[in-house]
Chain A
Amino acid sequence: KAGVTQTPRYLIKTRGQQVTLSCSPISGHRSVSWYQQTPGQGLQFLFEYFSETQRNKGNFPGRFSGRQFSNSRSEMNVSTLELGDSALYLCASSLNPAGGQETQYFGPGTRLLVL
């Protein structure tokens, strides 16, 4: 079974621009979560989607948004990019049929550099 895939793998943007990252979960997985990883703040939860609905949200500004499609693929968008948004953005998927403590499997991440 193929793992979690993320595109693109690398991205360079300038301040003020917006960016869209894509995540395809493991086949059959219905929950997709997004995390931001930086050297200073570590791994931080952005949001989680299940059945096209945002079910959990972390403490990030409204510039960070996401969505999930009927095939469970997910996108996240960051508008009005700031230098501090430079990070590795990780997507994780899980089966999560009824919520609870399901194992999350991570993709390789998208490395975003904001200049």
Chain B
Amino acid sequence: GENVEQHPSTLSVQEGDSAVIKCTYSDSASNYFPWYKQELGKGPQLIIDIRSNVGEKKDQRIAVTLNKTAKHFSLHITETQPEDSAVYFCAATRAQKLVFGQGTRLTINP
């Protein structure tokens, strides 16, 4: 079955700097890769997703890149703000079964 590895587990950056979180997946048949942000006491919130026929997608300060050959995808957050502090999860799927990475706790230092 699918296995998703996510790094780093914790990340601390200065406000205004960029943050990058990386994930690798094992199942070459996976074709949908969402990223979720989870704040304390809340459910995961979709922030961006990418499908296997696309190499890069951007939405304002957030971008995701996908390398199908290497089976890895990354989340890039630029100009970080205090409200970006949260736990971020990557996931991979080829049906409706999302397989999640272990999460990255991102802290933005003022």
A residues touching B (Cβ–Cβ < 8 Å)? 4, 31, 33, 35, 42-45, 48, 50, 55-56, 58, 90, 92, 94, 96, 99-109
Interface string of B10-50 (1 = CB under 8 A from A): 00000000000000000000011010100001111110010
A108's contact among B42, B49, B95, by CB below 8 Å, is which? Answer: B42
List 7 additional contacts besides A105-B46, A106-B44; criterion CB under 8 Å: A31-B96, A42-B100, A42-B103, A45-B97, A55-B96, A90-B43, A101-B32
Closest CB-CB distance, B86 to chain A, in whole Å? 14
In the A-B complex, the 9 residue pairs with the smallest Cβ-Cβ separation, listed nearest first, are A101-B32, A106-B43, A43-B100, A106-B44, A48-B96, A108-B43, A56-B97, A45-B97, A42-B102
Chain A hits for B97, CB < 8 A: 33, 45, 48, 56, 58
Least CB distance, A85 to chain B, in whole angstroms: 19
A109 touches B98 (CB 8 A): no
* B41 cross-chain contacts in A, Cβ below 8 A: 108
Given contacts A48-B97, A99-B96, contact A106 B49 (CB under 8 A): no
Name the A residues within 8 Å of B99 (CB-CB): 45
Neighbouring B residues of A58 by C-beta, 8 Å: 97
| A44 to B103 CA separation, bound complex (whole angstroms) | 12
A101-B32, A103-B49 as given contacts; A109 in contact with B94, CB under 8 Å: no
Distance (Å) between the CB of B35 and the closest chain A CB?
Answer: 11
Q: Which residues of A contact B43 (CB under 8 A)?
A: 4, 90, 106-109
A90 and B44 contact, Cβ closer than 8 Å, known pairs A101-B32, A101-B51, A103-B34? yes
Asked if B89 is at the interface of the complex by the 8 Å CB criterion, the answer is yes
Query: Given A96-B96, A99-B95, do A104 and B89 touch, yes or no (CB 8 Å)?
Result: no
Question: Does residue B107 face the partner (Cβ distance < 8 Å to A)?
Answer: no
* Residues of chain A within 8 A of B31, CB atoms compared: 101
Question: Chain B contacts of A92 at CB under 8 A?
Answer: 98
Contacts of A103 in B (CB 8 A): 34, 46, 49
Q: Are A56 and B95 neighbours in the complex by a CB distance under 8 Å?
A: yes
